[in-house]
Amino acid sequence: MKFFIDTANLEQIKEAQDMGILDGVTTNPSLMAKEGITGTNNILKHYVDICNLVDGDVSAEVIATDFEGMVKEGEALADLHDQIVVKLPMIKDGVKACKYFSDKGIKTNMTLVFSPGQALLAAKAGATYVSPFIGRLDDISTDGLNLIAEIRMIYDNYGFDTEILAASVRHTMHVIDCAKLGADVMTGPLSSITGLLNHPLTDIGLEKFLADYKKGN
Ligand code: E4P
């Protein structure tokens, strides 16, 4: 399973990249605003800064909600850097724009996906990634992980190439459950990645090894 980090924070992206386990980055307008990145030029520059920090795909989201606007914005985003993936909302014009970019060989990420039917449309439109938001489904007492399982089954039934990018991952158990269910990618905060390191027996074992080494030296 690929690991993407879901943030626009350059320090956190660098920390994950330095661990050697990062495969890409996802951002959205809220994450950009959280870092205080506002204004089109600053936002575009920030995408380039992110691309220069990591080796993998970097999802950059369009703001337009009509086909023409999405095409214009998406083309400008794709021109920024060859690591950019155009992130499009799961609405009718978003599906149409996804097909447009797929046909041109530009990578896409269909975002705000909350149902198997939406994921089926994304795959039909040739999306590179589909982003089911599991945490936001859990927030409304609906099983987000079940959506990953349903999409996995549907995509495997027909051999769709679209990668399932489990999004709105909130914690380490989401990561592990997504891996068990066969999600191709997960995107979450840095804590959902570094949290995987933690085990008390590792800490106790290491302490003992170091103490025993010191005894003999
Ligand atoms: C996905 O690409 C989104 O940026 C993200 O995962 C949303 O997560 P949230 O529900 O924690 O805001």
Q: Which candidate in 2, 87, 92, 208 is catalytic?
A: 87
Segment 142-200, tens digit of pLDDT? 999 999 999 999 999 999 999 999 999 999 999 999 999 999 999 999 999 999 999 99
**Tens digit of pLDDT for each residue in 178-191?**
999 999 999 999 99
pTM above 0.95, yes or no: yes
Do 62 and 88 contact (CB within 8 A), yes or no?
yes
133 CA distance to ligand 1 centroid (A)? 7
Pairing of strands 163-166, 84-89: unpaired
Distance (angstroms) between ligand 1 centre and the Cα of 89 equals 13
| Ligand 1 centroid distance, CA of 39 (Å) | 21
Best residue among 131, 133, 134, 137 to mutate for probing ligand 1, ranked by most atoms within 8 Å of CB = 133
Instruction: For 71-127, write each residue's pLDDT tens digit.
Output: 999 999 999 999 999 999 999 999 999 999 999 999 999 999 999 999 999 999 999
Closest CA to 4 of 26, 19, 20: 26
For the chain, domains (ranges, CATH) are 2-215 (3.20.20.70)
